[in-house]
Amino acid sequence: MRISTQQVSDLAKSSTTKTVQRRRHMHRYPELSFQEVQTSSWIGKELEALGIPYLAARGNYGLRAILDRGPGPIIALRADFDALPIQELNEVDFASTYPGVMHACGHDVHTSVLLTALEVLASLPGWSGKVIGIFQPGEEVNPGGAKTLIKEGFLENPRPGIILGEHINPQLEAGTVGFRPGLMMASADEINITIRGKGGHAASPHLTIDPIAIAAQTLVSLQQVVSRAANPETPSVLSFGKILGNGAMNVIPDTVEIAGTFRTVDESWRADALARISRLVTETARAFGAEADCRIDTGGYPVVRNDMDLTQRAKEGAIEYLGEQKVIDLPLVMWAEDFAYYAQVIPGCFYNLGVGNASRGWTSSLHSPTLMIDEVSLETGVGTMVWLTLRELGAT
């Protein structure tokens, strides 16, 4: 007997209370990338309580759960579970209890949805094959947990035929999902700059080599890498979110540290731009008598490219489950995700889960200290993931 959308919808709805509990637990106790000791342990206990076997990664805190119903398609589902170094400003009873750490990118949603999706799938008769749940640490910082888990064989023995993953989008209303075949997200590289000058009294700048003034000139000049060197048809972003001088009102420091990110969607231009950035940093500093190091992590994430056929099937499945008005065509965005690594190995589809609620003012962006999600979206997330999985298993 084939499984129906109504069966899945009923199970997703009846599981909502548990999904909310899981999400709120994670939100209260966030952990930074590659420090997710308690989070990983908690996920393992949840899987054990559900009777779902799993393997723990050797190199980090990842887990791979397996539902094995014998011969048939093999489907991987992925969720990440690290948090960000952000002080939460929401006044809710499940706010982060850890100062300066917050689930501000929705990874608490991703993991709670995957846990409940596996629970629902385990309860459903009528399908055969294997479903692999990949719970991944360290998505927020290079080199990313995905690369390590792939090296540890999380996509082998057995090898999935496809992989699905979701990411929350607060600009989409709760109850909706979004898809984009092909190129979906940009590459991302981390840029760390240290400018070394000569500190001294601010009233005697002629006796110093002012790294703050040089930093200002460097930041302005770097923007021309995008505005003048990039092809206008190639989306590119160069942003710096950290500058640290550690001087004072009347003290010019010896050094300034700057950190930022470069993102684009063209791998050839990516390499050229990074070389230009490094050269401009060192030569600008030298022109003012200073020295500079430009450290670029070449292990930055590649572009996220969804498999065309799989994504089309997933979109069609979402329309079956939610209705056409609830399925959105997504634009290209300059976010980055290490889901890209999985999609380089096997066909992948990374889609968005709407979590916003404009009527309640819950529209803060990702990585914001006021990010709030409408928890109605959890039911949508679970049901959609289960339905898309069953569809790929040939059980619908």
- Amino acid identity, position 353: L
Regarding whether 76 and 154 lie in a shared domain, the answer is: yes
Write the CATH number for 67.
Answer: 3.40.630.10
Where is the domain boundary, 229, 264, 296?
A: 296
Write the CATH number for 242.
Answer: 3.30.70.360
The Cα 218–Cα 222 span in angstroms is 6
172 Cβ contact partners less than 8 Å away, ≥ 6 residues apart? 178, 328, 352, 353, 354, 355, 356
Digit-by-digit pLDDT tens for the chain (396 residues) are 699 999 999 999 999 999 999 999 999 999 999 999 999 999 999 999 999 999 999 989 999 999 999 999 999 999 999 999 999 999 999 999 999 999 999 999 999 999 999 999 999 999 999 999 999 999 998 889 999 999 999 999 999 999 999 999 999 999 999 999 999 999 999 999 999 999 999 999 999 999 999 999 999 999 999 999 999 999 999 999 999 999 999 999 999 999 999 999 998 999 999 999 999 999 999 999 999 999 997 668 999 999 999 999 999 999 999 999 999 999 999 999 999 999 999 999 999 999 999 999 999 999 999 999 999 999 999 999 999 999 999 999
Catalytic residues: 82, 139
Regarding whether 66 and 162 lie in a shared domain, the answer is: yes
Regarding whether 130 and 37 lie in a shared domain, the answer is: yes
Regarding whether 76 and 214 lie in a shared domain, the answer is: no
CA angle 330, 311, 167 (to 5 degrees): 55
Task: Provide the residue range defining the domain that includes 267.
Answer: 189-296
Q: What is the pLDDT of residues 247-274, one digit of tens each?
A: 999 999 999 999 999 999 998 999 999 9
Where is the domain boundary, 251, 277, 296?
A: 296
Where is the domain boundary, 274, 296, 318?
A: 296
Tokens of 274: 């990074």
Regarding whether 365 and 219 lie in a shared domain, the answer is: no
Regarding whether 105 and 29 lie in a shared domain, the answer is: yes
Strand pairing partners for 136? 80
Q: What is the pLDDT of residues 38-90, one digit of tens each?
A: 999 999 999 999 999 999 999 899 999 999 999 999 999 999 999 999 999 99
Measured over the CA atoms of residue 366, residue 371, residue 377 and residue 381, the dihedral's sign is positive
230 Cβ contact partners less than 8 Å away, ≥ 6 residues apart? 236, 264, 269, 273
Are 329 and 337 within 8 A, CB to CB? no
Number of domains in the chain: 2
Strand 255-264 to 236-244 pairing:
antiparallel
Are 101 and 130 within 8 A, CB to CB? no
